[in-house]
Amino acid sequence: MSAGPMNASAPGGAKTAFVTRSTDQTIALGRRLGELLEPGDVLVLTGDLGAGKTQLTKGIALGMGVTDDVCSPTFTIGMVYEGARMPLYHYDLYRLDDPSQLDDTGIFDVLGDDGPCVIEWGEQFIDQLGDERLDVVLSRLDDEAAPGEEPAREVAFYPHGARPEQIAAQMGM
Ligand SMILES: Nc1ncnc2c1ncn2[C@@H]1O[C@H](COP(=O)(O)OP(=O)(O)OP(=O)(O)O)[C@@H](O)[C@H]1O
Ligand SMILES: [Mg+2]
């Protein structure tokens, strides 16, 4: 997590971004985030295949005191993990292509419920996921990597709403 937070204005809210230079740094960032989360928080993780969405979620789970191993729920669509204070709901909507399919996933039962909800590949259904959410955009910084080297990742937070803004502000401190 070098370089600390960078703030720049972006559509829909101020951006708070970090650069992580290894999987462990992404997990460490997620861990800090997980410690801040409260019931009902909604996080939409966006980024290409392999960008690090699940690794960040592993960190979030650690920060919440989840002891089970977190993996990508690509085939199950949704998973629930027991944290120390509350459950973590983890969704991966990659295999869905129509909003009508969301009903069967149970996601509407857990959004705003007794734990935070972390959603990979949720941007395609953003209209269904609510106005109050923390968008997290992960990108590979390919241009800065030496040939053959694994690129660092930018992890950028775009809050929508008062509670997500509070989370982003706390991450930036
Ligand atoms: N700085 C980094 N941050 C996160 N992951 C990294 C980093 N550097 C290398 N990696 C590797 O990149 C991969 C990221 O995989 P991950 O499953 O988290 O991606 P994902 O965004 O969830 O992909 P998918 O869309 O397939 O679910 C892992 O193998 C991880 O070890
Ligand atoms: Mg994943």
| Residue 2 in domain | no
| Residue 17 in domain | no
| Residue 22 in domain | no
Is residue 7 over pLDDT 50? Answer: no
Is residue 61 over pLDDT 70? Answer: yes
CA–centroid distance, residue 96 to ligand 1 (Å): 21
Pairing mode, strands 133-140 and 153-160: antiparallel
Phi, psi (degrees; rounded to nearest 5) at 28? -65, -40
Domain hosting residue 94, numbered range: 40-148+160-167
> How distant, in Å, are the alpha carbons of 80, 135, 153, 155, 163 from that of 160?
24, 8, 22, 16, 8
pLDDT for position 5? 52
The residue ranking higher by pLDDT, 97 or 5, is 97
| Residue 87 in domain | yes
Instruction: Give the whole-angstrom CA distance, residue 132 versus residue 120.
Output: 16
Substitution site in 25, 55, 153 for ligand 1 pocket (most atoms within 8 Å of beta carbon): 55
Task: Calculate ∠ Cα 28-86-23, nearest 5°.
Answer: 15
| Residue 85 in domain | yes
pTM above 0.85, yes or no: yes
The CATH number linked to 53 is: 3.40.50.300
As a whole-number percent, the residues of the chain with pLDDT over 90 amount to: 85
Number of domains in the chain: 1
Phi, psi (degrees; rounded to nearest 5) at 107? -65, -30
Check if 24 has its Cβ closer than 6 Å to any atom of ligand 1: no
Task: Calculate ∠ Cα 48-109-165, nearest 5°.
Answer: 55
How high does pLDDT run on average in the chain? 92
| Residue 84 in domain | yes
pLDDT for position 12? 57
